[in-house]
């Protein structure tokens, strides 16, 4: 189960104190929290209801945070796809955007600098006056032909260098 203890970065940056309990609000009345990412976000290979965004929705509901989690994960998506799709994400008018990309970039051989630029572009675009964003970077394991000294195997060691978006815990 996904939990965000009081005092954690996610809790302190993104979630206000829980509201006073009231009748169950309709999903349409809730502010939108978008999980935007690749197969990890989409829940590839998991049963329905077992993805990270599903667990996040249950956890937020259980702790009195009335958000509507919208799973915008796509299996196979790269940061290049994210730059193309960010406008459609913003049309959802999210209050919070959790960005999780990177693993497929490594699998497809995208240069680490391009991955960083793409992620910076997505995070910059997601910063609206009414929304906050945080980032998660999927680490891609080096293949047997790579070593830890190659740029792609350490591509996320120092990311995000040029963004003010916090990383999620």
pLDDT digits (tens, 9 = 90+) for 147-163: 444 444 444 444 444 55
pLDDT-derived band of residue 63, with 50, 70 and 90 as boundaries? very high
Condensed to tens digits (0 to 9), the pLDDT of residues 85-108 reads 999 999 999 988 999 998 899 899
Share of the chain above pLDDT 90, in %: 47
The pLDDT value recorded for residue 15 is: 58
pLDDT at position 124 over 80: yes
The answer to whether residues 98 and 36 touch, using CB atoms and an 8 Å cutoff, is yes
pLDDT at residue 32 greater than cutoff 60: yes
* 128-144 mean pLDDT: 57
Residue of 48, 53, 51 lying closest to 96 (CA atoms): 53
Helix then strand count (H, E) for the chain reads 6, 4
* Beta carbons of 45 and 79 less than 8 angstroms apart: no
Q: Which domains does the chain have, with CATH numbers?
A: 27-154 (3.40.50.1110)
Strands 94-101 vs 32-37: parallel, antiparallel or unpaired: parallel
Is the pLDDT at 18 greater than 90, yes or no? Answer: no
List phi, psi (to 5°) of 51. -70, 165
The C-alpha atoms of residue 127 and residue 119 are separated, in whole angstroms, by 13
Exposed / middle / buried, residue 166 (Cβ in 10 Å: 0-12, 13-18, 19+):
middle
Can you give the pLDDT at residue 5? 53
- Confidence band, pLDDT 50/70/90 cuts, at residue 55: very high
Give the residue ranges of DSSP H helices in the chain.
9-14, 39-42, 52-62, 79-90, 103-107, 112-126
């Amino acid at each position: 189960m996904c939990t965000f203890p009081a005092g954690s970065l996610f809790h302190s940056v993104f979630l206000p104190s829980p509201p006073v309990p009231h009748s169950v609000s309709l999903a349409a009345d809730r502010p939108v929290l978008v999980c935007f990412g690749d197969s990890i976000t989409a829940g590839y290979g998991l049963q329905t209801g077992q993805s990270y965004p599903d667990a996040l929705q249950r956890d937020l509901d259980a702790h009195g945070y009335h958000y509507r989690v919208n799973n915008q994960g796509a299996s196979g998506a790269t940061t290049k796809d994210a730059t193309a799709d960010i406008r459609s994400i913003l049309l959802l008018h999210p209050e919070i955007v959790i960005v999780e990309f990177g693993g497929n970039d490594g699998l497809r051989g995208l240069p680490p600098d391009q991955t960083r630029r793409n992620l910076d572009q997505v995070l910059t675009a997601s910063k609206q006056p009414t929304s906050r964003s945080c980032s998660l970077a999927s680490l891609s394991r080096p293949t047997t032909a790579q070593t830890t000294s190659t740029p792609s195997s350490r591509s996320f060691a120092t990311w995000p260098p040029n963004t003010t978006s916090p990383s999620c815990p």
